[in-house]
Structure formats: C-alpha cells, structure tokens
Amino acid sequence: MADISLSEAEKRYIVDGVKLGIRVDGRERLDYRQLEIETGLVSTANGSARVRLGCTDVLITVKMEMEPPPPQQPKDGQIHFFVNCSANAAPEFEGRGGEDLATSLSAMLDRLYSSPLSLDTSRLCVVPGKHVKVLYVDVEILECGGNLFDTVSLGVKAALWATRMPRIYITGEDGGELEFMVSDNPQEVDRVDVSNAPILITHLRITENLTVIDPTPEEECCGPVQVVVGVTPKGLITTTQQLGAGTFAPQTLSASLKSAQELGVKIHHQLMQRLQQEESIPNRKTKGFL
C-alpha cells in the first residue's frame, strides 16, 4: 500500500520494536491511532462524514436517488460505492496506482454491504417493482497515512448514520403513473439503519508470528502481507481478503481473525458512541473539510 523507501536498518528497527511490544509511535500491537470523526459537512449531500485516523484522511458523501429496481430484486433498494484516490493524497496514486486501489476499495465495500444481514435494503423500497431509493456513496481519499481500508469503512458507516432522506409520499395516480410528494419538512426524514453495518479490521503480518493493527506507512513497508476482515457489531465475520504477496501461518491467521472479532465489537461501540454524542450537541457547528 505504502510507497516509502526504508533502509534495512530502519526496517529492522521497526520489526524489533514490534517483537518487544513497543511500536515506533509508542503504541502496542493492537492499539489504534487517534480517531477524529465529523459528520454533516457537505450540505448538498444527504449524508457526509470526514474521518481522520492518524495521517489518513477521507471524506465520504451519500446521495439518494429514486430509480426503478433491478428485475431480480424488485423490493430492494441499492447502494453503490465510488472511490477516488487523488494523486494529491499520495505519490503512488498517480496513474494506474490510484485506479487499481480505488477498484480494490470499491470491490471490498460492495462485498461488505452485499449481505442482507449488513444493511436491510428492503427498507429503501418505495413502490415494489417500480421505485426504490438508491444510495450513491462517494469516497474521496484526501490523505493516505496507512490503514486505508479500516478508515474508509469507518467513514462509510458514519456517513450512512448521518444520512437524512426526505420522506416520500404517494399522493395519487395520473394516467397509470404514480404521483409523489417529497416532504420539505426537515423533521420528516428517513434514516438508514446501520445497527448491523460492518467495519473492516486489518491485521498486518510484520514478522513471522506477530501482527499489528492500524499500521503506519512505514510499518506497511515492513509487512509483506495483511488480512482485511469485515466484522459486524456482534462480532460476526462477513468477509475476509488477503492483500500482498505472502502467507499467514495457520495459527497466526486464526489469532488474527479472533482478534479482529474482538476489536470489531469494541470499535463499533466506540464509533456509535461518538456519533450519538455528536448528534446530541445542540446547534453544533461543523468545521468543514477545506
């Protein structure tokens, strides 16, 4: 993921620190960096969130459109993900590098939210077989400072939590076509149920039998392989994907999956707690993202 040149001595210093239980920035192996979350930054979107984890900075916006459903899913709404890796975020994003990473992130988010256990898309149905709500989730990578998959997943869940969709009423029928009224009352909105929405937990194998979470770019240079795990708030693993050229020993992979389940439950709780606290602030002023 990271395109940083480190000497063998620098790599050995990082790896030896992990073996001793002390990472370069003072964290332990299973510690996250400081997480900053802010929602409601983009007034033209139905929902938005900015998440900063260490030096990784992402902005997510959600827009709702009403469209005909696909024939095979006449009663289900849709959710689509689009990722843009700006060349300003990291030098390696120039050219095909950014496109390949964006494709990988989009595919992982599609897999993460494809299960009906993750997001109940039937609640996005307006008229079965004719009209459903479609959510377009745009992910903008503003800065890449390691652990991009986890940060994006946290931002997507926060943006969906913050999404407010105007309530739609069916007022009648004219010539066989249904007539709709969209409420302009800011209090009459529908929200997305993210109570089961999963997040990603990444374990980087930095040495033979040891992994770290929330790796920095320097640590990503030392680790040949990582496993990305999708975890629900109840600790259910929904998807896994291995990134990089390398292998996990069976016992290391098993320990990583178990750790991801435990950490997933903990991070879900902390994320929702922060979002609820932010929402409860009266007359909250947003900082913006510029």
Q: What is the pLDDT confidence band of residue 98, given thresholds at 50, 70 and 90?
A: confident
Structure tokens given for 281: 């602030």
Q: What local confidence, expressed as pLDDT, does residue 5 receive?
A: 79
Asked if 146 contacts 1 with a C-beta cutoff of 8 angstroms, the reply is: yes
CATH dotted code for 34-280? 3.30.230.70
**Domain regions of the chain by residue span:** 34-280
Q: What local confidence, expressed as pLDDT, does residue 265 receive?
A: 95
- Single out the residue of 204, 46, 37, 28 nearest to residue 137, CA to CA: 46
What average pLDDT does range 17-46 have in this prediction? 91
More confident residue, 175 or 206: 206
Q: What letter represents residue 221's amino acid?
A: C
CA triple 69-179-81, angle to 5 deg:
30
Whole-model pTM: value is 0.91
Q: What is the pLDDT confidence band of residue 290, given thresholds at 50, 70 and 90?
A: very low
- Single out the residue of 235, 240, 236 nearest to residue 265, CA to CA: 235
What average pLDDT does range 25-50 have in this prediction? 92
Give the lowest-confidence range in 9-13, 85-89, 193-197, 275-279. Answer: 85-89
Question: How far, in Å, CA of 208 to CA of 189, rounded?
Answer: 51
Structure tokens given for 100: 């390949």
**Cα pseudo-dihedral 205, 207, 210, 213, rounded to 10:** -40
Q: What local confidence, expressed as pLDDT, does residue 191 receive?
A: 92
Question: How far, in Å, CA of 69 to CA of 45, rounded?
Answer: 22
- Kind of pairing between the strands at 164-166 and 78-85: unpaired
Q: What is the pLDDT of residues 182-209, one digit of tens each?
A: 777 778 889 999 999 999 999 999 888 8
What average pLDDT does range 82-102 have in this prediction? 75
Q: What local confidence, expressed as pLDDT, does residue 177 receive?
A: 76
Asked if 58 contacts 48 with a C-beta cutoff of 8 angstroms, the reply is: no
Question: How far, in Å, CA of 197 to CA of 264, rounded?
Answer: 11
* 174: β partners: 177
Structure tokens given for 15: 């790896």
Q: What is the pLDDT confidence band of residue 144, given thresholds at 50, 70 and 90?
A: confident
What average pLDDT does range 203-216 have in this prediction? 91
Radius of gyration of the chain (CA): 21
